[in-house]
Amino acid sequence: MIIGKTITAQAHPNIALVKYWGKRRKEGNIPAVGSISITLDTLYSRTSIRLEPALRGDRFIFNGAPAPEAQRRRVQMFLDIFRRRAGRAVFARIESENNFPTAAGLASSASGFAALAVAANRAFQLHLEERELSRLARQGSGSAARSIFGGFVEMHAGTRPDGSDAFAEPLLAPEAWPLRVVICITSRQEKSIGSTEGMERTAATSPFYSAWVSSSKDDLAEIRRAIRGKNFRELTEVSEHSCLKMHGLILSARPGILYWNGTTVELIHRIRALQRDGVPVFFTIDAGPQVKAVCLPEALSDVVGALKRVDGVREVLVTGLGQGARIVEGDG
Ligand code: DP6
């Protein structure tokens, strides 16, 4: 265990192209479906941990201010896993910051828990390998398992009741197929219904939920093939299908959940118009109103030019594909 020394890790958010929605077990966020994502660069969470034997509980500073109690408890429960593994009940001071808007469908919990898993692994000197870190990150937030790795990443749903086969693994390095991602921010408000609650409601009430789960295997097989063959047309088809199917499912919950605003819809139409003009681009949308347009590098300026002119778009962020979670300070 490294006492009294600050260890900092950095991780990037990821965007699922074949989506995770629904859990086969709530405890530990064991997913009902596998998913495949791309890890971004430019955007990041940077998380520091310092173990301090004098503390009576974990302290958690988020974006420069003490985090709300619910968030602090979620972090403390996550670190309990590391304390149990290390056999030491030492609490920590944790500071985390994001360089992008939080809780607006940009998966800040994914990068945050992935960074914390890597930092805590070092602080408690557990020497866990990445697959195991992805299992642990999953227990903070399901999508966090994928941010342990860079580039194209697959999260397995697994079948074992204890979730030991529900982990992420890399499919393709970021340099191997350097796609670009244009994130269109359409609102800065926090989303009204978080993913965890949205998933629970969907699984409990949507008549389409079992079809969502059973059809996911075909989507995963298709996207693996698209990634292996670097086939952008196939990647477009399966990604838009998974995204629209997930939102259709979420709409069919009771009461139905609509994460989009009017600008979200305008952006979908604009991207479809670009496709008709032969521009290699597709959209994907998570549990919020932001639209992420994924394109080949040569299409980037056309895509940015078209999307930033859509009424209601507040900001456009451009990123590429990035690396997995790693220690950036306090190493050695
Ligand atoms: C729509 O990972 O945030 O972004 O496991 O409850 O923390 P919890 O949910 P979370 O859900 C992500 C949902 C999604 C799709 C995806 O990233 O695959």
Please state, in angstroms and rounded to a whole number, the distance separating the CA atoms of residues 101 and 108.
8
Strands in 180-185's sheet, in edge-to-edge order, are: 281-284, 291-295, 180-185, 315-319
Mutate which of 25, 141, 195, 238 for ligand 1 pocket (most atoms within 8 A of beta carbon) = 195
Which atom of ligand 1 approaches the CA of 23 most closely? 5
191 pLDDT above the threshold of 70? no
| pLDDT at residue 105 in the model | 56
Rounded to the nearest integer, the mean pLDDT of the chain is 95
Ligand 1 closest atom vs CA 29: 5
Region 204-212 average pLDDT: 98
Ligand 1: distance of its center to the CA of 288 in Å? 11
> CB of 44 closer than 6 A to ligand 1?
no
Average pLDDT over residues 283-309: 97
Q: What is the pLDDT of residue 103?
A: 46
Q: Tell me whether residue 231 is exposed, middle or buried, using C-beta atoms within 10 angstroms of its C-beta: 0 to 12, 13 to 18, 19 or more.
A: middle
Protein residue with its CA nearest to atom 14 in ligand 1: 286
pLDDT of residue 149: 98
Residue percentage of the chain with pLDDT more than 90: 93
Ligand 1 centroid – CA 20 distance (Å): 6
Distance from the CA of 15 to the center of ligand 1, in angstroms?
10
- Does residue 194 surpass a pLDDT of 60? yes
pLDDT (average), residues 52-66: 96
Report the separation in Å between the CA atom of 41 and the middle of ligand 1, taken as the mean of its atom positions. 19
Our answer on whether the CB atom of 323 is closer than 6 Å to any ligand 1 atom is no
Residues 6+ apart with CB under 8 A from 179: 38, 294, 295, 296, 297, 320, 321
- Residue 331 alpha carbon to ligand 1 centre in Å: 30
Beta-carbon contacts of residue 38 (< 8 Å; ≥ 6 apart)? 14, 15, 17, 151, 152, 153, 179, 181, 294, 321
Residue nearest atom 5 of ligand 1, based on CA coordinates:
142
Ligand 1 pocket residue status of 19, Cβ below 6 Å: yes
What percent of the chain shows pLDDT beyond 70? 97
pLDDT in tens, 144-187: 999 999 999 999 999 999 999 999 999 999 999 999 999 999 99
Ligand 1 atom closest to the Cα of residue 37 is 18
At 166 the three-state DSSP class reads coil
pLDDT at 5: 96
Mind listing the pLDDT tens digit for each residue in 214-235? 999 999 999 999 999 999 999 9
Residue 330 is predicted with a pLDDT of 79
Is residue 105 lining ligand 1, measured as CB closer than 6 Å?
A: no
Q: Can you say whether the dihedral through the CA atoms of 190, 193, 195, 197 is positive or negative?
A: positive
* Residue entry with tokens 């008549």: 207
Check if 154 has its Cβ closer than 6 Å to any atom of ligand 1: no
For the chain, which domains are there? 7-177 (3.30.230.10), 180-319 (3.30.70.890)
Ligand 1 atom index nearest CA of 143: 2
Residue 107: what pLDDT?
Answer: 63
- Judge contact between 78 and 139, C-beta under 8 A: yes
Burial (Cβ within 10 Å: 0-12, 13-18, ≥19) of residue 311: exposed
pLDDT in tens, 68-111: 999 999 999 999 999 999 999 999 999 999 998 664 457 678 99
Q: Are strands 291-295 and 152-155 parallel, antiparallel or unpaired?
A: unpaired
Say what the pLDDT of residue 192 is. Answer: 79
Q: What residue's CA is closest to ligand 1, atom 4? A: 286
Give mean pLDDT, residues 34-51.
97
Which of helix, strand or coil describes residue 3? strand
Ligand 1 atom at minimum distance from 155 CA: 18
pLDDT tens per residue, range 299-319: 999 999 999 999 999 999 999
For residue 178, is the peptide bond before it cis, meaning its omega torsion is within 30 degrees of 0? Answer: no
Alpha-carbon distance of 112 to 67, in angstroms, equals 13
Average pLDDT of the segment spanning 32-43: 97
Q: Are 276 and 302 in contact (CB under 8 A)?
A: no
List the residue whose alpha carbon is closest to atom 3 of ligand 1. Answer: 195
